[in-house]
């Protein structure tokens, strides 16, 4: 289902996988979510009115089954649909639950930068450096995630210029 969410039987199979013991597990719920998104919009009485991301809430409400990827997906989906307050609330809950894991910080920082401003992202990056200073790749990723779009563009231009200079040196 995850490989081809638009397949004819994808939604039925995803719902079957997300039932019983796996009703709150991340991958089956993600499959249902993606299959629902991939289905053509229904018309008339069968028109989809519900929030497709609501299926992910079963995982978010289950402490032993929670998955960071679903918090991130749900937050981004809510933000994209114009529900910024709800998106931030979901991210806050997920970040509070998973904040001990250095690997989730860059994604959270980028989300907060886009939704609450880059000053907030910079403050979180500083917290990341203080908490995980010994984990250089993670703290570097936190710093990168806290960069504004303009700072990223400037860094990319510098990288491109250095690459061009190196290529010129090699071929001269």
Alpha helices, H only, 19-148: 26-38, 57-60, 68-80, 84-98, 105-116, 118-132, 136-145
Could you tell me which of 86, 107, 81 has the C-alpha nearest to residue 95?
A: 107
Q: Which two tokens stand for residue 132?
A: 């995980």
Higher-scoring residue by pLDDT: 161, 134:
161
pLDDT tens digit string along 114-150? 999 999 999 999 999 999 987 778 788 999 999 999 9
**Whole-prediction pTM:** 0.82
């Amino acid at each position: 289902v995850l490989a081809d969410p638009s397949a004819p039987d994808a939604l039925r199979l995803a719902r079957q996988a997300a039932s019983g013991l796996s009703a709150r597990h991340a991958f089956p719920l993600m499959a249902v979510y993606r299959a629902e998104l991939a289905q053509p919009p229904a018309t008339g009485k069968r028109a989809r009115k519900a929030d497709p991301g609501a299926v992910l809430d079963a995982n978010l409400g289950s402490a032993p089954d929670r998955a960071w990827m679903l918090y991130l997906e749900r937050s981004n989906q809510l933000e994209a649909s114009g529900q910024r307050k709800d998106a931030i609330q979901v991210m806050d809950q997920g970040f509070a639950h998973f904040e001990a894991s250095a690997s989730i910080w860059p994604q959270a920082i980028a989300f907060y930068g886009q939704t609450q401003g880059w000053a907030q992202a910079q403050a979180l990056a500083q917290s990341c450096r203080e908490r995980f200073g010994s984990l250089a790749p993670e703290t570097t990723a936190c710093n990168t995630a806290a960069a504004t779009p303009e700072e990223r563009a400037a860094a990319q231009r510098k990288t491109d210029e250095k690459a061009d200079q190196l290529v010129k040196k090699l071929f001269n």
